[in-house]
Amino acid sequence: MGTFHQNKGELHGITVIVDTTGPEIVVGRCDDMDERGIFLHEADVHRDGEGGRSKEEYVRRVAQLGFWKKHDHLMIPREKIVSVRRLGDV
Amino acid sequence: MPYSELLVRPMREELSSAGVKELRTPEEVDAFMNEKSGTAMLVVNSVCGCAAGMARPGVRLALDGDRRPDRVASVFAGQDLEATARARSYIPDIPPSSPSVAFFKDGELVYFLPRHRIEGRDAHSVARDLTQVFAEHCAVPAT
């Protein structure tokens, strides 16, 4: 059974980790990525040190079982993006 | 909002034709989950082809192997809302994820395959993960 989503980038539908130039790191399901930034569905935002966890500690935690969404939709401007990687690759 | 049942039916049948019991109501979920003995696998089915398109054939391939869980069932996220919510209530510490696969032994969750471990992989890779879980936890079938 194929996908219903067409004309989207290769990360469409993929859960990604977006590291930012600030203290925030974001995880969510990528809708699309273009010159404006990345558009995510069902996203969570973690601030470095929140709950005693660094960004990487947070990433390792969500890589195991997933994450609780805090935002239905989120857009991160391109100039704030340091890296985008697949959560499944962690 | 749920998709048309006409659209979803083949996705249901892709699992049910492999012997996966579909749980459409909270009561059916309770009946499945309250049977604690042995091994049980619960598949959270999903419309989105990005991941579910690999999850369903992966489950089918895994169930073709020598070992399989004593009981296998599915709920359909986004379609059978109450049944899915009830199923998730049995694993409250696990963030909602669809598609996903939960594996129980004697009523305890021993393995969880979240959506992000399915995305971007092929059905054989998904099946390989599940087959390893079956090998670890499921009894060798009597000959």
- The owner of tokens 């169930």 is B63
- The 10s digit of each residue's pLDDT in A43-60 is 999 999 999 999 999 999
**A10-48 burial by CB neighbour count: b if 16+ within 10 A, else e?**
ebbbbbbbbbbeeebbbbbbbbbbeeebbbbebbbbbee
Domains in chain B, CATH or no CATH each? 5-136 (3.40.30.10)
Pick from A14, A67, A69: CB nearest B50: A14
Across all residues in chain B, what is the average pLDDT?
Answer: 93
Determine, yes or no, domain membership for A5: no
Determine, yes or no, domain membership for A7: no
Residue B45's DSSP bridge partners are B76
CA dist., res. B98 & res. B56, Å (int): 12
CATH (domain of A56): 2.30.30.100
Count the domains in chain A.
1
Of all residues in chain B, the percent with pLDDT exceeding 90 is 83
Residues of chain B with C-beta less than 8 angstroms from the C-beta of A4? 47-49
Determine, yes or no, domain membership for A41: yes
- The 10s digit of each residue's pLDDT in B7-35 is 899 999 999 999 999 999 999 999 999 99
- The 10s digit of each residue's pLDDT in B75-132 is 999 999 999 999 999 999 999 999 999 999 999 999 999 999 999 899 999 999 999 9
Pick from B11, B50, B95: CB nearest A13: B50
Determine, yes or no, domain membership for A81: yes
Determine, yes or no, domain membership for A2: no
* B143 pLDDT tier (thresholds 50, 70, 90): low
CB-based contact, B15 to chain A, within 8 Å: no
Structural domain span for residue A51:
15-89
Ordered DSSP codes for A32-81:
EEETTEEEEEEEEEEETTGGG--HHHHHHHHHHH----SEEEEEEEGGGE
Instruction: Identify from B116, B122, B129 which residue to disrupt to test chain A contact, counting A C-beta atoms within 10 A and taking the largest count.
Output: B116
With CB atoms and an 8 Å threshold, state whether A4 touches B115. Answer: no
User: Active-site residue B50, yes or no?
Assistant: yes
More confident call, A58 vs B54: A58
Ordered DSSP codes for B10-68:
HHHHHHHTTTPEE--SHHHHHHHHT--SSEEEEEEE-S-HHHHHHHHHHHHHHHTSS--
